[in-house]
Amino acid sequence: PEWQLLNRDGIMQLERCFKFRNFKQALAFTNRVGEIAEDVGHHPALLTEWGKVTVTWWSHEMKGLHKNDFIMAARTDEVAK
């Protein structure tokens, strides 16, 4: 599954679920995405579960999607490779 464009309570968001073999690998991915988020000062919601991480990007201040969210979604894909 690729990135989905969602309208959640009126706020547009980009969301993708990444699958892993176990909890540990999922959490390692969460940390890698957390690193690129800290680098740019723009932070996603990261739902870490056994074998998967759901990453959601949106721009809180504008309650929607900014160019940066698409850039960060692409960078998240790079991290997942």
3-state class percentages of the chain: helix first, strand second, coil last, to nearest 5: 45, 35, 25
Residues near 80 by Cβ (< 8 Å), separated by ≥ 6?
18, 29
Binding span for its own copies by CB under 8 A among 6-14, 47-55, 63-71, 72-80: 47-55
Site for its own copies in 3-32 (CB under 8 A): 23-24, 27, 30-31
Instruction: Name the minimum Å distance from CB 75 to its own copies.
Output: 16
Interaction between residue 43 and its own copies (CB under 8 A): yes
**C-alpha–C-alpha distance, residues 6 and 12, integer Å:** 6
Task: Tell me: does residue 64 bind its own copies (CB under 8 A).
Answer: no
Query: Could you tell me how many residues of this chain bind its own copies (CB under 8 A)?
Result: 16
